[in-house]
Structure 1
Amino acid sequence: MTWNRTGELTMKAWSMTSPNKLLSFFFTLKEKQGVHGIPVYSVTYKNRPLLLDSRLGLQLDGDPSLLDGFTVTDVHRDSYAEEWRPLYGERDVIPDRYSRLAIHLQEKDGNRRQLRLEFRLYDEGLAFRYHVPEQETLSRFTISGEHSQFHVPEGSWAYEEHGAEGEYAKVSVRDLKPNCERPLTVVYPDGTYIAITEAALDNYSRTLFSVHPASPWIIESTLSGLLTGFEGYGLMSENLPEEKNQASVIAQAPFSSPWRVVLVGDRPGDLLEHNYLVLNLNEPCALEDTSWIVPGKLIREMTLSQEGGRACVDFAAERGLQYVMLDWGWYGDPFDDRSDCTRPVNEVWFYNKKEGERTHTLDVQELVQYGAAKGIAILLYLDRRAVEHQIDRFLPVFKEWGIKGLKFGFVNTGPQYWTQWLHECIRKCAEYQLLVNVHDAYRTTGFTRTYPNMLTVEGIRGNEHMPTARHNATLPFTRFLAGCGDYTICYYSDRIQTTHAHQLAMSVIAYSPLHSIYWYDQPADAQGEPETEFFDRLPTVWDETRVLTGQIGEYAAIARRKGEEWFIGTITNELARDLDLPLDFLKQGKAYLATTYNDDLLNKASRTGVSMRITEVNASSRLQAYMAPSGGQAIWIRPKARDLA
């Protein structure tokens, strides 16, 4: 590598390899149709093309764009190899190993503005971001578009979803409609899998994905404003001023974009097993004291009555749950900005028969005290309107009442303004030691690492929609690559489109540190079904996660460990299916007991069509999952009292 007299590097291409040498990355500046200095990268995996030539650049509003005309002025290389322990997660130790290449670009003509591209190549995939350094010729600027490209091989297929609670469809990449949600999972003709997503979204607009209009195998990033036309994007604000609605990003140098991430795997399960890459790209925990952050399970209280609240507390205490959540309407009409959520005794919205007549009230403080006496904490639902207008007023009040957490509903999602607003709300809640569950359109990009009081988010088509079993078998390899998702498990509702054993299994497959169980159920629905002991014993955070087998939209078997106990969830789509599950992940030389919870639709002794069986197993054992159409199987494995000789 040499320098010329203008300070330009004369090397024409730069490359690096992942720590395990399976991924190779290449960067160069290219010329196309008379345009010089275009940043282009490509990636190979096992010496086969993974991403073909893909352009990079930022489109600016009011200034010339940062797309071409560059020279390379400096290059930095280094590597990193550490591991870290999250406060909670899908695994207790996370590797963070990568090769890094930082390319410093400068315009050859004009104002000679600077742009730095930072690339990290992990064994698990690629991450890159843009950085605009402080400079006299570019201070405050507006990013109107981002041209991050992902050029996949011809014949690739993608799992397309629109709206944070949409259904998935397998389509040819060339047929993708604009504004696909992320993560976007792509299957190559040779059987390789990738997932494109983003990490560390904070001071920026949400990124969605579209196909390049002139090149049908190039997926390109799209900055997202406030979109309301898709499933899961509803009930957000409309008629907002431009700065609260626009897709553009207002930036002040020095400025960094979120990370663009490509996960890579030989099988769908590799993507889920490697999804910690998103967390690696976020800042470490910002909280000194995290002792008050306690993952757990909740039941939703829907009657919003004192009697109903007490019944849910009793049920939670009996069944190993930690939280009861009061659902929307407890403080009045959630769609009315005048509804005050700081009154301890409230007129419940949907019980009002006549305007101005108090027909039904709920005493929140009394319920908090009742729950505390039984070790059960109370969470409160708040519509975004209350959060937008009252957060600084209600936080000290809720702290005084003894509330442990909040669920934000229908938050505005997409524009930079609302990303910053939501994250600031989560920071404020941390100051008052309040947990947060964000519902509807928001999806995490790893912010839970930095502020782990955000225990979970929705952004998923779960049992609020009663999805199909095929959709459920798609989620582990698409949506759950982003991290936690509050799927809202149901058990007794007659609207579920799966077997009950499938719902038991989904409580393992769906990762949510704050896990909503019995979503449309009430305590009186339970009639002593023995298999619900599985919910009682289920942890919500894990020391190890393994995907035993799976095909997108067809079936999935996921094993998760907490301490010495394993929980396995296996599901199928609308087809009946038998799967053979080896238990070679168990500790060698040790005996275990396995309780299986199986589809048994002809079992007249079970109104839920579930049977149970206890067997002794070890690392050499294999268990069979016989699943009905839209069925499943759950397994609980724990050590037996003695070790094998």
Structure 2
Amino acid sequence: MKKIAFALFLLCGFTPILQGQNNKQVYSVVEKITDKHTIHVKVPSTNITEHSYSKQDTNLAITSPDKLLTVLLGLRNGIPTYSVNYKGKLMLEESPLGLISTIGDFSQSMTLVSKKDSSIDKTYTQSKIKKSSVHYQANELTCTYVNSQKQQIQIVFRVSNNDIAFRYVLPLTGETARCIIKKETTGFNFPAFTTTFLTPQATPMIGWKQTKPSYEEEYTVDSPLGTPSKYGLGFTFPGLFRIGNQGWVLVSETGVGSSYCGSRLSEGTKDGLFTIAFPEKGENNGIGNSEPGVALPGETPWRTITIGENLKPIVETTIPFDVVEPLYKSSMDYKYGRATWSWIMWQDNSANYQDQVTYIDFAAKLGYEYVLIDALWDKQIGYERMSDLLKYAQSKGVDIFLWYNSNGFWNDAPQGPKQRMNTSVSRKKEMQWLKSLGVKGLKVDFFGGDKQETIKLYEDILSDANDYGLMVIFHGCTLPRGWERMYPNYVSSEAVLASENLIFNQHFDDNEAFNACLHPFIRNTVGSMDFGGTLLNKRLNRTNTGGTTRRTTDIFQLATAVLFQSPIQNFALAPNNLTDVPGFEIDFMKQVPTSWDETLYIDGYPGKYCVLARRHGTKWYVVGINAGKEALKLKLNLPMLKNSEVAYYTDKKDGKSSLEKAQIKQAGTVSVEIQPQGGIILTN
């Protein structure tokens, strides 16, 4: 049976009572203020309050601006800890903090020596995420600790409404200006009744042409604590956790650039403890260190925790972007939009001149901004003819993205162009050529790892591409971690079981609706997701007569064009869809935007169904999909559509799509029915 160690800081006479529901017990523990506690020493001309401490077991509390979310920091036998409650309910039990480095062990025998309180209030705009304007307010607590050798570390917590971000800061002390982080002891300790929604980290250098981990593994849902991962290597960020009937927790990280590695969650214990795990030694073909190196003074990325009593804060969170800043200025105003993409339906052989002309014409008919030309164009079109193809596309008002293989020595994927993006010299030479042709962006594939060496390659590609006015999409790649804000020319990443798997194996078509009902709650809520979806072919091949069979309805597919968020959407439409699907479906796809001013959670449950609302300008799109085997009847509260006539896209019971007009009354409520593996769309 788990023990709950819980402490609450008494501050200015405020004595909140926190409840834990583990094993149906209620815990109310308060901590006495020590007689050596120095209170409220103001720093002039700032909003910062300084405190100092001399007693090792002093506990601290930091709350959100709305006072509903509380983080409690303490020391358990010299080990820094934290716990989290929301609305008086225990969401994370006492969890360890700390790290072990080559300059010192900061995971034990620690003493708190001072703290600093401050507040953050900022606004920013961002055209590539789920909302265009963000107002971020948070309370910040910086705690300074020393270990038994009197070496210093700071732990910084920021707590906003429903979100927590924390990181470690290592100062420059003495003559040592560098260190290796050997291990993070950071943990996330969940109550015993928690269930998990997780995807496993894959073994390095396995899979097709030794390209894993490619971050395209399947999820397990509502699994009990202690359920082992598929490969025994833990779980990829983000991880979603249901805390019984108390609420939900999403754990991830952000702010990962070339100065650190990407991390993940370890295997979880049966008692519910997950810790930070570094990359496997075999990643990146064994090249590079698994342990990150940090120049001093330095800091780790932010670990993020989003908490709510329902899924609304999970879906709507902007915490991956709130705590990071742009790393460089944009070299130009990048334009986002829609693209056609021959490879998804016509495959490798379509990377030829004439097929790309067909898709350029198709994009022009749809009014789309881009065409993505995928792998093997270097051999099947050739560098010499690419200039003519670009000129043709530009004459049609269509711009081009080109695919590249990332690899030098870390996979055996044969598709080219190869060895153009892996070194600075070859990359800049290639990008200069791309700029001269008027190419607008790159899709770079096959990375396979989270080592600092690999994260540096992502950053180098992005930084160099910006110098040449090029946007970047990553595939076969890791999760983006705040990159939409950090890198102005970053577009999106795959990092999901994307549409190509629907072509490769019927299993993924049979489970398409289930997976689609996961992504808005987990993968896509923390970063743009290049899924490459909205397939309107019934059979997933070039002639629409063979290959795998799509199980979902057309309206389901249209709904995912809104449900899945990416500032550039590479849709899997095919030229034959202009004549073999109802005209109103194509009209919808001609008009659907890819940038959003607002995103709202309406209803749903991971893996079962999902209803979201997104706004572009004054136009709302409310979309829903159903992964169940039975029709789903819902009463939706849509105040944004009250007193308005809407276009209502739905499926009939025979699977055929329908477009009708519907009137939303003053109450703003509407009853809908979503067919099995079907969808709905309401637009004003």
Provide TM-score, normalisation by structure 1. 0.85
Q: Is the 8 A contact 1:555 1:573 kept in 2?
A: yes
- The residue number in structure 2 matching 1:388 is 422
CA–CA distance in 1 between the matches of 2:641 and 2:554?
A: 30
> Hey, what's the Cα distance between the residues in 1 that align with 2:644 and 2:327?
38
Distance 1:212 1:601 in 2: 43
Q: How many Å apart are 1:43 and its aligned residue?
A: 1.4
**Match for residue 469 of structure 2?**
433
Q: Given the alignment of the two structures, is residue 286 of structure 1 paired with residue 328 of structure 2, yes or no?
A: yes
Structure 1 contact 124–277 (Cα < 8 Å) conserved: no
Q: How does 1:318-329 map to 2 (within 5 A)?
A: 318-329=365-376
Task: Give the secondary-structure state (helix, strand or coil) at the position aligned to 1:331.
Answer: helix
Matched, 1:376 2:401: no
Q: Cα 1:610–1:106, aligned 2, differ >3 Å: closer, same or farther?
A: same
Does the CA contact (< 8 Å) of 1:578 and 1:624 recur in 2? Answer: no
Query: What does residue 26 of structure 1 align with?
Result: 72
Provide the rounded CA distance (Å) in 1 between the counterparts of 2:680 and 2:434: 41
Determine if the alignment matches structure 1 residue 308 to structure 2 residue 330: no
| 1:166 Cα deviation from its structure 2 partner | 1.3
Distance of aligned partners of 1:209 and 1:428 in 2 relative to their CA distance in 1, 3 Å threshold: same
The one-letter code sitting in structure 2 at the alignment partner of 1:312 is: Y
What do the CA deviations read for 1:73-119 (whole angstroms, capped 9, x no partner)? 22100112232221342112212111110001112x33x21111000
Report how far residue 305 of structure 1 moved.
2.4
Task: Kindly provide the CA deviation profile for residues 370-428 of structure 1, in whole angstroms up to 9, marking residues without a partner as x.
Answer: 11122110110001133114212101110001100000011243101110121121011
Alpha-carbon distance between aligned partners in 1 of 2:136 and 2:618, rounded to the nearest angstrom: 25
Q: Distance in 2 between matches of 1:211 and 1:438?
A: 27
2:443 counterpart (395, 407, 411): 407
- What runs of 5+ residues in structure 2 fail to find an aligned partner? 1-33, 39-51, 202-214, 344-349, 408-419, 503-507, 540-547
Which of 167, 173, 178 aligns to 2:218? It is 167
Superposed counterparts of 1:147-158, under 5 Å: 147-158=185-196
- The separation in 2 between residues aligned to 1:165 and 1:619, in whole angstroms, is 44
Q: Which amino acid aligns with 1:175?
A: T
Match of 2:59?
13
Residues 22-60 of structure 1 deviation map (CA, whole Å, 9 limit, x = unaligned): 0111112221xxxxx211111111112121111111123
Pair 1:65-2:105 in alignment:
yes
User: Which one-letter code corresponds to 1:134 in the other structure?
Assistant: L
1:175 deviates by: 1.8
1:471 aligned onto 2:515:
yes
Asked whether the equivalents of residues 227 and 414 of structure 1 are also in contact (C-alpha less than 8 Å), the reply is: no
Decide which of 654, 659, 674 is 1:612's aligned counterpart. 659
Greater fraction strand: 1
Displacement of 1:278 in angstroms is 0.9
Cα-Cα RMSD: 2.3
2:138 is aligned with 1:98: yes
Describe the shift of the 1:222–1:131 C-alpha distance in structure 2 as closer, same or farther (beyond 3 A): same
1:74-113 paired onto structure 2 within 5 Å: 74-107=114-147, 109-110=148-149, 112-113=150-151
2:528 to 459, 462, 484: 484
Alignment of 1:118-129 (within 5 A): 118-129=156-167
User: What is the aligned partner in structure 1 of residue 624 from structure 2?
Assistant: 570
Residue aligning to 1:527: 580
CA shift at 1:628, angstroms? 2.6
TM-score by length of 2: 0.80
Structure 1 492/449 Cα, relative in aligned 2: closer, same or farther at 3 Å?
Answer: same
Q: 1:288 to 1:568 in 2, by over 3 A?
A: same
Aligned to 2:561: 507
Which residue number corresponds to residue 291 of structure 2? 248
Structure 2 contact 254–303 (Cα < 8 Å) conserved: yes
Change (3 A) 1:152 1:304: same
Matched, 1:194 2:267: no
2:86 equivalent in structure 1 = 45
SS of alignment partner, residue 12 of structure 1: coil
The CA distance in 1 between the partners of 2:392 and 2:243, in whole Å, is: 56
AA aligned opposite 1:286: Y
Give the drift of 1:174.
2.0
Which segment drifts farther, 119-128 or 130-139? Answer: 130-139
Describe the superposition over 1:335-362 as per-residue Cα deviations: whole angstroms up to 9, x where unpaired.
xxxxxx9x632xxxxxxxxxxxxxxxxx
Contact preservation (8 Å) 2:559, 2:623: yes
Pairing 1:260–2:303 present: yes
Distance in 2 separating the partners of 1:568 and 1:290:
33
Question: Residues 150 and 524 of structure 1: is their aligned pair in 2 closer, same or farther, counting only changes over 3 Å?
Answer: closer
For the residues of structure 2 that align with 1:534 and 1:581, how far apart are their CA atoms? Answer: 24
2:397 maps to amino acid:
G
For residue 388 of structure 1, what is the amino acid of its counterpart? N
1:271 maps to 314
- Which residue does the alignment assign to 2:20? none
In the alignment, is the contact (CA less than 8 A) between 1:195 and 1:264 conserved in 2? yes
In structure 2, give the amino acid aligned to 1:602. D
Structure 1 partner of 2:44: none
Asked if 1:516 is matched to 2:570, the reply is yes
Residue 495 of structure 2 is matched in structure 1 by: 459
Letter in 1 for 2:70: S
Q: CA deviation at 1:226?
A: 6.2
Q: Aligned with 2:517: secondary structure?
A: helix
Residue by residue over 1:456-495, the C-alpha shift from the partner in whole angstroms, topping out at 9 and shown as x without a partner, is 1100112111232111111111111222101111221523
1:141 counterpart = 2:179: yes
Residues 425 and 39 of structure 1: is their aligned pair in 2 closer, same or farther, counting only changes over 3 Å? same
Contact 2:641 2:668 in 1 (8 A): no
State whether residues 205 and 225 of structure 1, in contact with CA within 8 Å, keep that contact through their aligned partners in structure 2: no
| Distance in 1, Cα, partners of 2:493 & 2:590 | 22
- The alpha-carbon distance between structure 1 residues 581 and 370, as it changes in their structure 2 partners (threshold 3 A), is farther
Deviation, structure 1 residue 613: 1.4
Alignment gaps of 5+ in structure 1: 32-36, 229-236, 334-340, 346-362, 604-608, 638-645
Contact 1:41/1:53 (8 A) holds in 2: yes
Percent identity between matched residues is 21
Q: Structure 1 segments of 4 or more deviating over 6 A?
A: none
Contact 2:249 2:305 in 1 (8 A): yes
Amino acid at match of 2:82: Y
Distance 2:528 2:554 in 1: 22
What is the Cα deviation at residue 524 of structure 1? 6.7
Superposed CA deviations along residues 427-460 of structure 1, whole A, max 9, x for unmatched, are 1101111011101122111111121311111001
Number of residue pairs matched? 579
Q: Secondary structure at the match of 1:97?
A: strand
- Displacement, 1:296? 0.7
User: Alpha carbons of 1:568 and 1:117: their partners in 2 closer, same or farther (altered >3 Å)?
Assistant: same
* Structure 2 match to 1:180: 235
Shift of 1:324: 0.4
Superposition pairs of residues 561-600 of structure 1, within 5 angstroms: 561-582=615-636, 584-586=638-640, 591-592=644-645, 594-600=646-652
Distance 2:60 2:187 in 1: 18
Shift of 1:120: 0.6
